[in-house]
């Protein structure tokens, strides 16, 4: 597999090598050793989530408190999404910026997003099925959101506003500035300290 760091530090795009014959295809969707070598840290996956979404569905922008935080390994088993990594770590040189990748059932790419990164995706197809391998169980009291329509973040969304589907929670989420003022955002220093603790284990 090919692993490259995205424009957002501590986020990686993983493209597997697919082997096909008259029976179908085979590929490795996750290799802990390859990813840990590139990321320079231990990755302890503890929960697997799956969502199935209608075309135009927006999920995110979501993030969890540090520590513990929740890193994510995200891939698609059916259909396609555009997946976004948003740097919300206060003090990061990339703060407020984002990078994205199309995840689908053709190239079968995956994204690894470290703790402290905002995550969002938009379903490009009907029944887009996304699987997330995450490093902590769901803790609702430590989960937060930022509106994907924040003009400061300015995500390049693939559909017009009226074509997008949001949960009530995501539609009413704070802007990045509001989350910063409420002291909900992780900091660059907190994130680096957490990553370093994983590197030493």
| Whole-angstrom distance, CA of residue 180 vs CA of residue 158 | 27
Helices marked H in the chain: 32-39, 168-171, 176-181, 188-199
Phi and psi at 2, nearest 5°, equal -105, 130
Which residue among 73, 84, 132, 195 is the active-site one?
132
Which tokens in the block code for residue 6? Answer: 């995205």
Which residue among 62, 73, 84, 119 is the active-site one?
62
Which tokens in the block code for residue 189? Answer: 């220093």
The answer to whether residues 89 and 186 touch, using CB atoms and an 8 Å cutoff, is yes
- For the question of residue 73 being annotated catalytic, the response is no
Helices marked H in 118-174: 168-171
| Whole-angstrom distance, CA of residue 154 vs CA of residue 125 | 22
- For the question of residue 62 being annotated catalytic, the response is yes
Annotated catalytic sites, by residue?
62, 132
């Amino acid at each position: 597999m090919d692993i490259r760091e995205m424009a957002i530090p501590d986020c990686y795009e993983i493209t597997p090598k697919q082997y096909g014959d008259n029976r179908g295809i085979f590929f490795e969707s996750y290799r802990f050793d390859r990813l840990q070598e590139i990321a320079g840290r231990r990755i302890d996956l503890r929960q697997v989530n799956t969502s199935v979404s209608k075309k135009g569905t927006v999920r995110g922008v979501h993030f969890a408190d540090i520590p513990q935080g929740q890193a994510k390994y995200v891939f698609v088993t059916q259909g396609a999404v555009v997946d976004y990594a948003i740097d919300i770590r206060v003090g990061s040189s990339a703060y407020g910026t984002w990078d994205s990748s199309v995840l689908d059932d053709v190239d079968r790419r995956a994204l690894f997003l470290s703790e402290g990164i905002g995550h969002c995706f938009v379903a490009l197809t009907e029944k887009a099925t996304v699987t997330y391998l995450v490093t902590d169980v769901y803790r609702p009291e430590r989960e937060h959101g930022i509106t994907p329509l924040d003009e400061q973040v300015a995500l390049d969304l693939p559909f017009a506003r009226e074509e997008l589907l949001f949960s009530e929670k995501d539609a009413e989420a704070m802007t990045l500035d509001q989350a910063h003022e409420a002291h909900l955002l992780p900091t660059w220093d907190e994130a680096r300290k957490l990553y370093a603790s994983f590197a030493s284990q």
